Amino acid sequence: MTVAEQIFFPIRELSTYQKGWTIKGRVTNRAPLRTFKNRSGVGEGKVFHVELLDVEGGEIRASFFNDAADAWHEKMEAGKCFTLSKGSVRIANRQYNTCKHRYELVFDKLAQVEEVQDDAKIETVKFNVEDLRTVQQKTLPCSVDICGIVTGFEPPHAFTSKDGKDLVKRVLTIADDSAVSMQVTIWGDRAKKEDASFEGHPVVALKGVFVKEWQGGLSGSLSESGHLDLQPKVPEAQKVKDWWTQGGQSQSLTFISQTTGGGGAGSNLAAQATNMDVARMRQVSEQVTNVKGDLYNVFCRLSAVQTRKQGEPLPFIYMACAQNKEGTTLPCNRRVDSSGFCPTCNVAGKAAPRLTLRLQFEDATDGFWVTTFHEAAQRAVNITAEQAQE
């Protein structure tokens, strides 16, 4: 039976209950090969991952370890089609995996992979576009595909990260026909594109935008495994283009990102909050029935820092993993052991001090205790974690 005649298992139906499957898909993205320290502490392992798309539009992430990584990293180029079998299926790790599939694939030395002739029926990339007003209502953080008009952009900005990596980023402002706009940061070669690529309010589609709350608003970041299409063919592209030319460009837009910084009185959340004293806040907080909670502003002073618990000294500092989460520029921040090993990243890499404080605030009416982590703790006591460590 030829590959063309063979019946392949649909990617969207893969689960831990399926055995003996063979799939055919196009590689839509390939991550760099990276190394990690084995959990035993002896030697290193290798891994890379790809994202696969089949003829029915099913997408899944596949990771290749050690011998399989050596054998297939160079061959599995983005855009090529392959058949794959003899892999295992496991629940997708949402910390690293932005694919919508509930499961992900793992291949080792037993992997059977074969490059096949290009299948024109398989798309080169699959967008599941959501409008920005819908994104605004999602539980954060989340990963989404969006399509909109570039209403503004910043010049590329080169800098060195805390762990010594040279990075380049550029911030785009995207608006769509839901009359909402949001900032999205793009990285690396995408950020280095000529300004002309973003001039004239072009339509763009972005796949794999990681959205989180930032300084009272929402901020998007295109993941490493994401996709930027400057000439999108998706139906939403024509829809937002028509909206823009037929009056959208003069429409009042709701900007859901935050550029004033700080998370203080100038932020969106603070502007929506009710001013009250501590006693009143305590009283009304006990009566909250809104699932999302209510917002309050209180003006008070820092009265105490807890230094002991049950007679024992309470540590202010812990060492946190400074490795970037895979596919993002965000640090892992999970606690590492005394040797610097992070159980989440499975590597003993760079670590950085993080400040955590239990603080008491009070005004003339009452007081309350609150636990603060890193950025909030640093602002509250006006010292950095590095200074506290010294």
pLDDT tens column, 51-105 = 999 999 999 999 999 999 999 999 999 999 999 999 999 999 877 787 889 999 9
Check residue 290 and give its pLDDT: 55
Count of residues for the chain? 390
pLDDT band, residue 289 (cuts 50/70/90): low
Q: How far apart are CA 4 and CA 41, in angstroms?
A: 46
Whether 9 and 23 have beta carbons less than 8 Å apart is answered as yes
Distance CA 104, CA 92 (A): 5
Residue whose tokens read 């965000």: 330
User: How wide is the angle at C-alpha 362 spanned by C-alphas 356 and 365, nearest 5°?
Assistant: 155
Q: Are strands 274-275 and 296-297 parallel, antiparallel or unpaired?
A: parallel
| Residue 341: partners with Cβ closer than 8 Å, 6 or more residues away | 37, 347, 348
pLDDT band at 5 (very low <50, low <70, confident <90, very high): low
Look up the pTM and report it.
Answer: 0.59
Average pLDDT, the chain: 86
Question: DSSP string spanning 77-135?
Answer: -TT-EEEEES-EEEE--TTT--SS-SEEEEE-TT-EEEEE---TTS-S----B--HHHH
Of the chain, the percentage scoring pLDDT greater than 70 comes to 91
**At 388, which amino acid appears?**
A
Per mean pLDDT, which range of 34-48, 230-244, 268-282 is the poorest? 268-282
Hey, what are 170's tokens?
Answer: 């550029």
* Dihedral angle computed from the Cα positions of residues 213, 218, 222 and 225, in that order, rounded to the nearest 10 degrees: 40
Is residue 272 over pLDDT 70? Answer: no
Buried b (16+ CB within 10 A) or exposed e, 256-275: bbbeeeebeeebbeeeeeee
Say what the pLDDT of residue 216 is. Answer: 75
Give the max Cα distance, the chain. Answer: 83
User: Which H helix or E strand runs over 356?
Assistant: strand 351-362
Residue 260 has pLDDT above 70, yes or no: no
pLDDT tens digits, one per residue of 346-358: 888 788 888 889 9
* Cβ neighbours of residue 70 closer than 8 Å, sequence gap 6 or more: 46
Residue 264 has pLDDT above 50, yes or no: no
In the block, residue with structure tokens 């209403």 = 151
Mean pLDDT of 151-167: 83
Which among 102, 130, 105 is positioned nearest to 209, based on CA atoms?
Answer: 130
CB 73 within 8 A of CB 62: no
- With a cut of 50, say whether residue 151 has pLDDT above it: yes
What confidence score (pLDDT) does residue 42 get?
Answer: 78
Residue 271: predicted pLDDT? 53
Least confident of 22-36, 54-68, 228-242, 290-304: 290-304
Q: State residue 250's pLDDT score.
A: 86
pLDDT value of residue 76: 95
Predicted local confidence at residue 263, as pLDDT: 41
pLDDT reported for residue 293: 60
pLDDT digits (tens, 9 = 90+) for 290-300: 555 667 788 88
Q: Is pLDDT above 50 for 376?
A: yes
Between the CA of residue 260 and those of 29, 30, 193, 229, what are the distances in Å? 35, 36, 27, 29
Residue given tokens 């004033």 in the structure block: 260
Angle of CA points 311, 352, 38, to nearest 5°: 105
| Rounded average pLDDT over 20-37 | 92
Q: What is the dihedral of CA 341, 344, 350, 352, to 10 degrees?
A: -100
